[in-house]
Chains A and B, each alone.
Chain A
Amino acid sequence: QQQVKQSPQSLIVQKGGISIINCAYENTAFDYFPWYQQFPGKGPALLIAIRPDVSEKKEGRFTISFNKSAKQFSLHIMDSQPGDSATYFCAASTLSGFQKLVFGTGTRLLVSP
Chain B
Amino acid sequence: AAGVIQSPRHLIKEKRETATLKCYPIPRHDTVYWYQQGPGQDPQFLISFYEKMQSDKGSIPDRFSAQQFSDYHSELNMSSLELGDSALYFCASSSGRNDISYEQYFGPGTRLTVT
Q: Which residues of chain A have a CB within 8 Å of any CB of chain B?
A: 32, 34, 36, 41-46, 49, 89, 93, 95, 97-106
Residues of B within 8 A of A93 (CB): 102
B71 adjacent to chain A (CB < 8 Å) = no
Residues of B within 8 A of A44 (CB): 43, 90, 106
B22 adjacent to chain A (CB < 8 Å) = no
Residues of B within 8 A of A32 (CB): 102
B-side interface mostly: strand
B58 adjacent to chain A (CB < 8 Å) = yes
Contact A46 B105 (CB under 8 A): yes
Q: What distance in Å separates the Cβ of A90 from its nearest Cβ neighbour in chain B?
A: 10
Q: Complex: how many Å from CA A98 to CA B101?
A: 8
Contact B56 A103 (CB under 8 A): no
Q: Which residues of chain B have a CB within 8 Å of any CB of chain A?
A: 4, 31, 33, 35, 41-45, 48, 50, 55-56, 58, 88, 90, 92, 94, 96, 101-109, 111
Known: A41-B111, A97-B55, A98-B55. A103 touches B42 (CB 8 A): yes
Q: Complex: how many Å from CA A103 to CA B90?
A: 14
Known: A100-B33, A101-B43. A43 touches B103 (CB 8 A): no
Select B42's contact among A42, A97, A99, A106, beta carbons within 8 Å: A106
Residues of B within 8 A of A49 (CB): 103
Q: What distance in Å separates the Cβ of A94 from its nearest Cβ neighbour in chain B?
A: 9
Q: What distance in Å separates the Cβ of A59 from its nearest Cβ neighbour in chain B?
A: 13
Q: Complex: how many Å from CA A59 to CA B111?
A: 32
Q: Complex: how many Å from CA A8 to CA B55?
A: 33
Q: What distance in Å separates the Cβ of A30 from its nearest Cβ neighbour in chain B?
A: 12
Residues of A within 8 A of B108 (CB): 42-43
Contact B106 A43 (CB under 8 A): yes
Contact B109 A34 (CB under 8 A): no
Residues of A within 8 A of B44 (CB): 103
Residues of B within 8 A of A100 (CB): 33, 45, 48, 56, 58
Q: What distance in Å separates the Cβ of B7 from its nearest Cβ neighbour in chain A?
A: 13
